[in-house]
């Protein structure tokens, strides 16, 4: 005997079921988008907080937002992905000139090279390895920070033919700085770091090196350091070249204050973000440096012909920074001072 077939739903009932399924899917999608947006806001706030605390700059925040946007896009949260990508792009816009070709040329004058390097060693002391690295990128003036054994470092440098005739001076204050120069140098007093006077191309120049305090510690050291820098910069009679690990981002309050007096060599002739920290000696540097903590700044009476972050390192957590500076109006154009 044939069983009676189940009663088929009416067209109205079918339309109602389809509408319920459609609304259910839309509701689930809305909930997912809202959750992604909340996560984007929370993580963005965390990144901004880290940026403000560490003064590392908007590059980290921008790249983080772009990475989140890509992740949200892969998860199907379209407008949350668009929000992350758009916010990251807006933050990166002011940095676009650092990726464009340089059309302007420095003023005429003789040239000299400066290398700044935080030699902080993470393993057993290896001054010869550091000296060998510096010799491969020999410069007229070396501005070295966190040199734990100055005498051993000077001996290692003198063993390299590139520095055999350099004048060397450890920080007389006992701080872990060291300056080596092809030009004769003499110490000057400064509470901001090691300061020396050198005659480059018959013109007296000052060179300053040291390590700045971490601003986010909030212990008052950053304020005192900024005041000491202001006092050093107050002497405008003699041009100044500053090569330091400032422990601050390019758009931190400290750097904004310094740029009122000095020019950023990377901003003048560098390419890209200019990240110098950390190297592969730290786990967080396994994919390359992602913070800009080291700087070469100079007086307006000098120019920058070129600058580079040296990719190799000698068991240090920082990459060296080397620039070719121009002493405008002095000597033969393009020739060594």
Answer yes or no: are the C-beta atoms of 162 and 177 closer than 8 Å.
no
Collapsed DSSP state (helix, strand, coil) of residue 162: helix
Question: Which of 180, 196, 175, 139 shows the shortest CA–CA distance to 320?
Answer: 139
To 5 degrees, how large is the angle CA 187–CA 119–CA 298?
50
Question: Which of 188, 203, 194 shows the shortest CA–CA distance to 325?
Answer: 203
* Inter-residue long-range contacts of 7-16, CB under 8 Å, 24+ positions, other chains counted: none
CA atoms within 13 Å, Cβ hemisphere of 166: 29
CA–CA separation, 32 vs 198, rounded Å?
Answer: 64
Note the pLDDT of residue 284: 60
Q: Alpha-carbon dihedral of residues 149, 116, 50, 123, nearest 10 degrees? A: -30
DSSP of 174-231: S-SEEEEESS-EEEE--TTSEEEEEEETTEEEEEEEEEPPPGGG-SSHHHHHHHHHHH
Could you tell me which residues are beta bridge partners of residue 323?
114, 307
* Inter-residue long-range contacts of 31-39, CB under 8 Å, 24+ positions, other chains counted: 32/75, 32/76, 32/77, 33/77, 33/78, 33/79, 33/80, 36/72, 36/75, 36/77, 36/80, 37/77, 37/79, 37/80, 37/83
Note the pLDDT of residue 291: 83
Where does residue 12 rank: exposed (0-12), middle (13-18), buried (19+ CB within 10 A)? exposed
Tens digits of pLDDT across the chain (337 residues): 455 555 666 666 556 666 655 555 554 556 666 776 777 777 666 655 555 544 455 676 777 778 888 888 887 777 777 887 887 777 777 777 777 777 677 788 999 999 999 998 656 668 998 999 999 999 999 999 999 899 999 999 999 999 999 999 999 988 899 999 999 999 999 999 999 999 998 899 999 999 998 765 455 677 788 888 989 988 888 999 999 999 888 878 888 889 889 999 999 999 888 888 888 666 565 566 678 899 999 999 999 999 999 987 657 889 999 999 999 988 889 899 9
DSSP letter at 109 equals E
Question: Which of 64, 46, 117, 130 shows the shortest CA–CA distance to 290?
Answer: 64
Note the pLDDT of residue 7: 66
């Amino acid at each position: 005997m044939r069983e009676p077939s189940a009663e088929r739903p009416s067209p109205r009932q079918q339309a109602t079921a389809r509408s319920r399924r459609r609304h259910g899917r839309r509701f689930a999608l809305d909930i997912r988008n809202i959750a992604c947006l909340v996560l984007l806001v929370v993580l963005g706030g965390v990144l901004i907080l880290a940026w403000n605390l560490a003064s590392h700059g908007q590059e980290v925040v921008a790249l983080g937002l772009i990475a989140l946007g890509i992740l949200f896009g892969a998860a199907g949260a379209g407008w949350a992905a668009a929000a992350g990508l758009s916010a990251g792009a807006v933050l990166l816009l002011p940095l676009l000139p650092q990726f464009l070709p340089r059309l302007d040329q420095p003023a005429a004058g003789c040239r000299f090279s400066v290398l700044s390097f935080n030699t902080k060693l993470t393993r057993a002391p290896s001054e010869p390895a550091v000296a060998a690295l510096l010799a491969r990128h020999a410069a007229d003036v070396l501005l070295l920070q966190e040199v734990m054994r100055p005498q051993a470092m000077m001996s290692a440098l003198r063993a390299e033919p590139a520095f055999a005739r350099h004048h060397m001076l450890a920080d007389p204050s006992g701080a872990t700085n060291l300056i080596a120069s092809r030009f004769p140098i003499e110490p000057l007093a400064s509470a901001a770091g090691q300061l020396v006077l050198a005659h480059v191309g018959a013109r007296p120049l000052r060179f300053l090196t040291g390590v700045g305090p971490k601003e986010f510690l909030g212990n008052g050291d950053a304020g005192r350091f900024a005041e000491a820098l202001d006092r050093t910069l107050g002497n405008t009679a003699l041009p100044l070249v500053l090569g330091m690990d400032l422990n601050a981002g390019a758009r931190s309050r400290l750097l904004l204050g310094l740029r009122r007096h000095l020019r950023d060599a990377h901003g003048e002739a560098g390419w890209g973000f200019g990240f110098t920290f950390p190297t592969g000696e730290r786990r967080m540097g396994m994919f390359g440096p992602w913070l800009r903590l080291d700087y070469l700044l100079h007086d307006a009476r000098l120019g920058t012909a070129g600058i580079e972050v040296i990719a190799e390192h000698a068991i240090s957590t920082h990459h060296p920074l080397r620039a070719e500076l121009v002493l405008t109006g002095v000597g033969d154009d393009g020739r060594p001072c």
